[in-house]
Amino acid sequence: MTEMKDLQTSDRPNWCPGCGDHGILIAMKQAIVNLDLAPENVVISTGIGCGSKINQWIETYGIAGLHGRSLPIAMGVKLANPELTVIASGGDGDGYGIGMGHFANTMRRNLDITYVVQDNQIYGLTLGQTSPTSEKGAKGPSTPHGVIEEPVNPIRLALSSHCTFVARGFAGDMAHLTMLIEAAIKHRGFSLIDVFQPCVTFNKVNTHEFFRKRVYKLEDERHDTGDLVKAFEKAGEWGDRIPIGIFYQTEKPSYHDEDVALKVHNPAKADISNVDVGGLMESFM
């Protein structure tokens, strides 16, 4: 049985006290424990950003990539060994900015990957510039007169990119977020959880209190997670009431179910004892 202590690393997170990333870290660990996943069978890939340090503080396998590249790494791992539980994680700037092309294209492939986005609506690591999810008018070091562009709506983007599990959580509600991460890992196919992750240092608008006052759970309103049109409508809600929970979930063959080779063969278990890669390696020299 996997226990919380099995996932504890020797050093502790150095995020700012009160940062929403602490809640996401605990929820992710709790989900792994609740699903009794062996730590050696879990891989967490990240990009660059405050939240991308999450895999330094969970005792599973972890890969830190370049900015916006958590998903290509996750894809590579999953393609190489589909038996692993693969979680990608990173911030809104990482995933919805420089990583946007990977985001849309990974979703339409429906690879069995869980993507947890720490969405604090700014770039925290680089001292608070506005990000793709910053609200119109938001001010920051890069936009002293306010953001001119409309924000990216990651939920709507996912719904229109064939994502088969689309959810939103709040780092201040760890029990609910744990439930979402568990459901996402169990889902066969690509799952997105966009998480409201207050940056207590640089975002003085979208705070814990801001979200605590506004978020409500879709399941409490008996939202039909099979209704794509309703999910799209709910994803547009912003203001006094903001929904969290599972917007949409559907079953459809994953990439591994459809690929002629992958559905019968795990590349990581192929016998390569007689394969000579010397020529290939030399070609890279």
* Footprint on this chain of ligand SF4 (rule: CB under 6 A): 15-16, 19, 21, 50, 120, 124, 199-202
For residues 253, 259, 260, 264, the Cα torsion angle rounded to the nearest 10 degrees is -70
Shortest CB 248 distance to ligand SF4, Å: 28
Shortest CB 199 distance to ligand SF4, Å: 3
Shortest CB 18 distance to ligand SF4, Å: 7
Instruction: Determine phi and psi for 215, rounding to 5 degrees.
Output: -75, 145
Of 15 and 96, which has the nearer Cβ to ligand SF4?
Answer: 15
Q: Which amino acid, one-letter code, is at 245?
A: G
Shortest CB 87 distance to ligand SF4, Å: 19
| Contact partners, residue 79, CB within 8 Å, separation at least 6 | 111, 262, 267
Of 99 and 189, which has the nearer Cβ to ligand SF4?
Answer: 99
**Strand pairing category for 165-170 and 191-196:** parallel
Task: Please give the Cα distance from 68 to 133 (Å, whole number).
Answer: 15
Of 129 and 250, which has the nearer Cβ to ligand SF4?
Answer: 129
- Number of other residues whose CB lies within 10 A of the CB of residue 16: 15
Of 15 and 190, which has the nearer Cβ to ligand SF4?
Answer: 15
